[in-house]
Structures are given as C-alpha cells and as structure tokens.
Structure 1
Amino acid sequence: MTNKQTKLVFMTLLLGTFAMFLNQTLLTTAYPSLMKDLSVSTDYVQWLTTGFLLVTAVVIPLSGWLMHQVNTKYLYIASQIIFLIGTSLCYAASSFSQLLFGRVIQAIGVGIAMPLFQTVLLYLSPKNERGAIMGIAGIVIGLAPAIGPSLSGFILTMYNWHVLFLMLIPIIVVVLFLTFFFMRPVLPIEKTKLDSFSVIESSLGLGLLLYGLSLISAKHANKWLLIASIVVGCVFIYRFVLRQKKLSNPFLSLEPFKQKDYLISCILLAIANMAMISFEMVIPMYIQNIRNMSPFESGLSLLPGAIALGIMSPISGKLFDKYGARGLCIAGMAILTAFTFPFVFIKSTTPMVIVIIFYAFRLLGISMVLMPLTTFGMNALPNSELRDASVINKTTKQIASSLGTAIMISVMTMVTNTSNSPQTLLKGYHGSFYVATFFCLVALVISFKIPKKTV
C-alpha cells in the first residue's frame, strides 16, 4: 500500500474504534438514571458493562481465527454492521432486558473489531515508529472512554438515555462508508479448518468464568452457582490451553507467551485495566449519589482528566520510541497509585477541585502505561504472531475489566448492605477505592520487571 492508502486505513480504523470505545463508558454517568427509569438495582445495572465485557471476551478468540480466513476489509465491514444493529436495538429499547440484548449484539461487533484494529495498526507500522503511531491510537483508545461520562452527562441534562445510542448511529454509518472505499485487505489469508472443540471450550470457559465473576457483586447470588461457574470455567480454559498445544494448526496460538516481555506486558495491562475500568464506574456514582450533582456536572468534573490523557498519549508514544517502556511505565504506575490512594479518604465535603485534579492525574498516569505497554509487548514478537497476540491481549484485558468491576462493586455492595444512608454509601466507595489502590500497587511492583531499553 502507498503511504496515502495506509493513512486512510488508519483514519478509518481510528474513527470506528472511537465509536466503540466511547460506547463502553457512555452509560457510566447514566447508571443512576437507568436504575430509576428501568427500576433496577446497582448489581443489575452493572450487567450493562459486565455483560458487554463478557460477550466481547467470548467473541475475541473467534476474531483471531476470522482474521486468518476473511479479507480484512469485509471482516471490518461485518463488525461495523453488527455494531450498528446492536446500537439501534439499544436506542429502541423500552426495558432493561431489551437494552441488555442490544448491548450483547454490540459486544459481538466490538469483539470482532478490537483485535482487528490493533493487529492492522501494528502490522502496517515499522517497529521503530510503533510507539508514536500507537500513541496517536492511544488518544482514541484512552480519550473516547474517558470523555464518555462527560458527554453522557451533558446529553442527559437535555435528553433521556436513548439519545446516547442515537448519536453513535451516524458515526457508525460514516465508518461503514469509509471502510467500503478506503479499507484494504491488509492481513494475509491463511485458510485453516475451524476446530469446533476449541470454539466450544474457549466460549464455555470464558463465558462461565466471567459469569461467575459477575455474580460476586450480586446481592442475592447463589454462592454455589458462583463457585461452580468459576471452577468449571477455569477447567474449560485449562482444557482449551492443552488442546492448543496439541493441534498442528491451533485455533489460537499461545506461542506469544513464550516471550517474557510480552507476558509481562499482558500481566501489567490486565492489572492497569482493572484499576481503570472499575474506577471509571464507581467515581460517577460517588459524584452523583454523595455530592448530589447532576449527570452533566458529574461528566464535566471528569472532562479535565480526559483532556490530560488525550494530550499525554502521543507524547508517551514518542517517549517510548526513544527511551523504551520501563521508565514510562514505572512513572505512570507511580502517578496512578499516588493519586488513587487519596480517594480512600474522600468525604462528602472534599472540595470538588481536589477530586477533579486527582482524577486528572490518575488518567495522566494511565496514558503513560496503556499504549507503551501494548507496544512493548508486541515489539517482542514477529509479525506472524501479531494476530494471536492481539487476541490474547484483548481477552486478558476483558477478563481483568470484568474481575475489577465485579470486585469493586461487590465490596461497595457488601459495605452498603446495612443501610442506604449517605455515610454508609461513602464507606462503600472507600472500600472500592482501597481495592483500586491495591491493584495499582501490584502493577507498580511488577513494572520494575520491565527490562531497560537496549541500543
């Protein structure tokens, strides 16, 4: 492809990814409104996020196989059409079950598109420039979910939650138009027979594991069902791993794990994701339920953090190309930890300017971690392993996001079970922030395992 064609492919992928990542956090500020409008509790409404992540994680491994079988252009078009159908169903939903069904359809499209986006971007980028290119992608990957709560809050001051999905539809249509004209068949086709047992084992394993994790935060969950789901899910995942090692043409190659740098990046990205996604869900609840602020004010309070992340992402990418991942990630994790811990002591009277500043510094730290870590791990692999590595990377992050959300909501629910008073609710948030701080500390310690860049 020419340089111009490559840029057009990047532009198409970035716009499509922006819509999909925006969709992931668009509802966080709307949760209180949804709970009231649809008459559901906290442990039910979180399924709009947990269920979405669950289905996405189940579909992602299949996406890896599809990338080997289907023309890149047609596969991306299919993912956008599915996402458009799901978004339209969400817009038209009149009940919680209908909204959840729409989110499930959305998740199928996202599960196909996300690994494809990362693989194509890496495949077309020279290794010595990947940091800068992935840094630009980081603006989208980080900024879209970060502005979701702000944009959602603004819209909810004038319209109902249906409009949150309506505004995505024109963007998806534009992406489909651009894909039709500008997308190219980037990845080589390597036809292989679909191993049905691998699909069944990965789907059941991931599905049951994530379902079990989601039950952790449910108030009236059957504990034996919870334990059984997690245990049986882990058994299927273990069987899946063993099967991939025996197959001559595995459904999902696990070869990337043999590279230490890739393994470290996967672990750190998982923990960082747990700290980010789960926190993004809890902080709007604190602002609205404890501070009695409107959804718009809640979203506006989070906007400076989104701006900080957007500004820092391309800078982090360039710093990565020059200095490597170690210093960036240690500094980023340190900032993330330092500005997460103070939320443990937050009160109903804490000046909002402090909350805004600390939240912004958290996202500044995250911008120094996410894309540099992703690029660091992928640079350790040959191009032939990028597809499977992207699938593993995305699946790991989805599991981590579900686990983090489940744990934080569970801690908050357990603390607030005795009372719904503002003081008890505040203690619940404190418990969640303790968990987020622990995630950050673990990631900070592991980040010292990243090797220094060699010249």
Structure 2
Amino acid sequence: MSTIANEQNHRVIKSTPILISFLIAGFIGLFSETALNMALGSLMNELNVVSSTVQWLTTGYLLTMGILIPVSALLIQWFSTRQLFVASLLFSIIGAIVAGMAPIFGVLLLGRVIQAIGTGLLIPLMFNTVLIIFPINKRGTIMGLMGLVMMAAPAIGPAAAGLIIEKLSWNWIFWMTIPFLVFALVYGLAFMQNVSVLTKPKIDVFSIFLSTVGFGGIVYGFSVAGDKGWGSSLVISTIIIGLLSLLIFSLRQLKLDKPMLDLRTFKYPMYTLGVFSVFVTFMIILSSMILLPLYLQTGLGLTALTAGLVLIPGGVLNGIMSPIVGRVFDMYGPKWLITPGFIIMIIMLWNLSNVTTETSIPMMIFLHSCLMIGVSLVMMPAQTNGLNELPRNLYPDGTALLNTLQQVSGAIGTAVAITIMSASQNNFLKNVADPSDPSVASTSLTAGIQTAFILGIVLAISGLIMSFFIKSSREI
C-alpha cells in the first residue's frame, strides 16, 4: 500500500489522457447496451424465438450489471486501475465477437452477458477514477463531459442500429463496435495510469453471496414481471428473496469492520438525497425509453428507423447540455439546477400523458427534447454533489452504490411502466365493441401510454420535493 502511495506522490497523473480512455470505452459500451433494442424484432424471426425469450438479451444484461457493480467497490480495492480497465475492454471485445458470430440465441445471450461484465467493470471504475484525479471544483465540468458521452451513446444507438439492420444485418451492430473497442484498449494501454491505492480488504464470501442474490433477485423479478405478470410465483418469490437478502446484507455490512460495501455513505445527507434524486430520474428515463418507441411505432405507425430518429434530438441535446450544466454546477452549485430540472420534467411528462394518435412528430420531438433538458439539469448535479460530500476512502463504495441503484431503478421503472400501460390498455379494450379490430390497436396502446406516463409525473413530483433540501456539499 505504501509503495503505491509513494509512487503516486512522485509521479504526475496525466488526467486528460486517462479521461479520454474512459470516455472512448464508455461510449462504445453504452452504445452497445441500447443499440440491440431496435433489433429484437429481427432477432425473433431470424433466431426463431418468442418475445419472452428475446427479452433475455436485455434482462440478462441488466442482471449481470446488477450483480457485478456492487462487487466493484471490492474489486477497485484489490486490482489496479490499469488491470480493471484492460479487463473491462477485453470482456467487451470478446463479448462483441461471440455475439457477432452467434449462430443460435444461446450464444448471442452469452455474448451479451460477457459484454455486460465489461460495462459493469468500466462504469464504476470510471466514476471512482474521476473522483480521485480531479479536484472538487472541476468535477462538475468533468462529470458533464462524461454525461455528454453517456447520454449521446444510448441516444444514437437505436437510430444507428435501425440503419444497420435496414442496410446490413443485426450481426453488424457488434462487428462495427470491435475496431473502436480495440482502439480504446490500445489507447488505454498507452495512457492509463494506476491512481487508486490498493488496500486489499478481507473478502467476505457471504456478503458477496447476499449481494448477488439480493440485487440480482430484485433486478430479475422486476425485469420479468411485465412478461410473467405480477401474480406469478416466480416474480413474487424472487423479489421477496431479493429484499430479504438485501436486508441481511445491509445488517451484515454495518457489523463488519471492513464491509464489502460500506453503507455508511448514507450517513451523508447530500449523498443520500443525490442517490434518490438519481434513482427517480433514472426510473423516468428508462420508463420513457420503453414507452416512447412503443407509442411512436404502434400509436403513430412509424418505422423503427424513423422512431429512432425522432428520439435522437432529445438524446443529443441532453449530451450537449451536460458539459454546460457541469460548468454552471462548478460555479453556482446544485441549487439552481435540480429544482428547475424536476419542474421541467413534470410539465413535459404531463404533456406526454395527453398524447393521442393525432399528435404530430414535431410535437413529440419537442416534448422528448425538453424532457431530456430537465433530466440533464438533475442527473449530473445530483450525483456529483452527492459524491463530493464523501471522504476519499468511501469513493469506491459511493460510486458502486450509485451505479447499482441505477440498474435497480431501471428494472423497476421499466416493469412498473409496462404493467400500468398493459392494465390501462386492457381496461380500454373492455369498452370497445370489437377488440380484434386492427384499427383499435393504436388507440388502445396510446390510452395505455397516457396512463403509464402518470408514473413519471409522480416520480418527478417526489424528486421536486427532495430537491428543496439539497444544498452544495461545499457549504456543509
């Protein structure tokens, strides 16, 4: 430990090349995460699988991330920055190769899981490294640059995938990422430096088991709830087992001298408020990302490519806003960003809850773009302000908890939104003379979408209430 600390003291950390290494790798990883969503229909036909099976390409990815990210706090203290960075890129490259050449669904799913391991290692490592190498007064701007990459990649992914599928085949979604991943690996090998101090804490196997069952159970239960139904014994049992495991896990962490995941981070009020602000915002993002493509394709009758293009301006605008918001955060703190962000989200979600089959495409672009502006005003300031309050020794735990709860919130938001939409759609069909009439499909789905967006309104209102208690960590 002392050797590494002394090495850091006598060596200049080149923060910019390190950041570039992470941004390149992060962009491709997050692009791959959303790009495949547009290909699910093609995959069902080509690989001869049903919708509940093909959904495992998303569920398996989320599940792997939900299991791995909590353990990342431990990995960051056991392995050097370079080792973890190289490992994450190798997993991503191998996963892309396996998925790209997959002859059957099982091999494709294996490739996705390997890719998820790469992303699950990279994201918490990136956050932790940025907290170490950049001073507190510059973190807003840097987190803003990270936000630019992390929001632009998922936004471009579906539209790019739609174009690839139209001109080539779904395999090329993976093949086209490999040169960029290889470049990121070579660049990282040249410029990545070891910045964290390795403490190598004792590994508590029971804590890892409880974390895996707990977070994995909750993510899995909510992920399959839309398909299996909330009355399914599988859904109920996995969620209950997950919650009980997390309860035991939490109690155990509080008793251990060196916990696997230090929950004392929640003793810091701005961190706690930041985490829950990010939690509700991520639920809004993920629920919107599944509702809007359904509405655009079924409610408005757009093609997959056109639907992807409609959503690009909002994602790109969110990315552009992130560095601007970061700079404002560095100058003025979170006070004048988070509250207006939630207010904008409430207004846009209210309008989205009133869409019809006659709503114009320019109006949808406007509503989605404004919603993304609201999101950009909340996400980066809330998480950066929260992490800024933590002492350096809690950075790995703080970033691991933040990123894990994002995965959990995504699974919950998606499942609850689909459930509300389906229930509302079924109620609408009960009052229709001929439910089998094809013309009713778009109207009934739109009715379901309207009701599902009320979930987002409730979440945004809860976030607005929390925002009144957030103040700058530098003032504490």
TM-score by length of 2: 0.91
Q: Deviations over 1:336-383 (max 9, x none)?
A: 221122121212221100001111111111111111111100110111
Contact 2:230 2:236 in 1 (8 A): no
Give 1:113's aligned residue.
122
Residue by residue over 1:197-224, the C-alpha shift from the partner in whole angstroms, topping out at 9 and shown as x without a partner, is 1111110111112222123211467622
Mapped pair 1:451 → 2:471? yes
Q: Answer yes or no: is the 8 Å Cα contact 1:152–1:295 preserved in 2.
A: no
Residues 212-361 of structure 1 aligned to structure 2 (within 5 Å)? 212-219=221-228, 223-361=232-370
CA shift digits 1:225-275 (9 cap, x unpaired):
221111111111111111111111111111211000000001110110010
Q: Give the aligned partner of residue 198 of structure 1.
A: 207
**Contact 2:141-2:326 at 8 Å conserved across structures:** yes
**Match runs of 1:60-75 below 5 Å:** 60-75=69-84
Pair 1:435-2:444 in alignment: no
Determine whether 1:88 maps to 2:101: no
Which of residues 132, 145, 148 is equivalent to 2:141?
132
Alignment partners' CA distance in 1, 2:452 and 2:112: 25
Corresponding residue of 2:107: 98
- Could you tell me how far apart the structure 2 residues matched to 1:124 and 1:316 are? 20
Cα 1:356–1:41 shift into 2, 3 Å: farther
**Structure 1 residues 431 and 90 mapped into 2: Cα distance closer, same or farther (>3 Å)?**
farther
1:407 counterpart = 2:416: yes
Determine the C-alpha separation between the residues in 2 that align with 1:51 and 1:432: 25
- Tell me, in whole angstroms, the C-alpha distance in 2 between the residues paired with 1:69 and 1:452: 32
* Contact 1:340-1:433 at 8 Å conserved across structures: yes
Match of residue 181 from structure 1: 190
State the distance in 2 between where 1:80 and 1:162 align: 19
Q: Which moved more, 1:157-166 or 1:39-48?
A: 39-48
- Cα 1:96–1:263 change in 2 (3 A) is same
Partner of 1:381: 390
Alpha-carbon separation, structure 2, partners of 1:66 and 1:46:
30
Q: How far has the Cα of 1:291 moved from its partner?
A: 2.3
Q: How many residues align?
A: 455
Give the superposition deviation at 1:29: 2.9
Structure 1 position 449, deviation (Å): 1.9
Change (3 A) 1:321 1:293: same
Q: CA deviation at 1:38?
A: 4.1
Letter in 2 for 1:267: F
Distance 1:112 1:293, change over 3 A: same
Q: Deviations over 1:177-213 (max 9, x none)?
A: 1121111111111122211111111101111122221
Aligned pair in 2 of structure 1 residues 355, 42: CA closer, same or farther (>3 Å)? farther
How far apart are the structure 2 equivalents of 1:426 and 1:99? 33
C-alpha distance after superposition, 1:137-164 (max 9, x if no partner)? 1101121112222222222221222211
Distance 1:46 1:341, change over 3 A: farther
With over 3 angstroms needed to count, the CA separation of the structure-2 counterparts of 1:98 and 1:340, relative to structure 1, is: farther
- 2:64 aligns to what? 55
Cα deviation, residue 390, structure 1: 0.4
CA contact (8 A) 2:15 2:134 kept: no
CA contact (8 A) 1:198 1:240 kept: yes
Deviation per CA, 1:265-320: give whole Å up to 9, x if none.
Answer: 01110110010022112212222223222222112111211221122111100111
Structure 2 residue 19 is matched with structure 1 residue 10? yes
Task: Give 1:326's aligned amino acid.
Answer: K
Could you tell me which amino acid in structure 1 is paired with residue 386 of structure 2? Answer: G
Q: What SS does the corresponding residue of 1:139 show, helix, strand or coil?
A: helix
Cα distance between partner residues in 2 of 1:252 and 1:453: 22
TM-score normalized by the length of structure 1: 0.95
Structure 1 counterpart of 2:86, which letter? Answer: I
Q: Which has the larger radius of gyration?
A: 2
More deviation, 437-446/50-59: 437-446
More divergent stretch after superposition (399-408 vs 214-223): 214-223
Sequence identity of aligned pairs in percent? Answer: 33
In the alignment, is the contact (CA less than 8 A) between 1:269 and 1:370 conserved in 2? yes
- For 1:223, the aligned partner's letter is S
Moved more, 94-103 or 329-338: 94-103
Q: Greater shift after overlay, 218-227 or 335-344? A: 218-227
Q: Which moved more, 1:412-421 or 1:272-281?
A: 412-421
Unpaired runs of 5+ residues, structure 2, are: 1-7, 430-434
**Residue type matched to 1:258 in 2?**
K
* Aligned counterpart, 1:30: 39
The whole-number CA distance in structure 1 between the counterparts of 2:118 and 2:204 is 22
Worse-superposed segment, 106-115 or 407-416: 407-416
Q: CA RMSD in A?
A: 2.0
Distance 1:205 1:450, change over 3 A: same
Report if the CA contact (8 A) 2:350-2:454 is conserved: yes
CA distance in 1, matches of 2:85, 2:191: 12
Superposition deviation, residue 432 in structure 1: 2.5
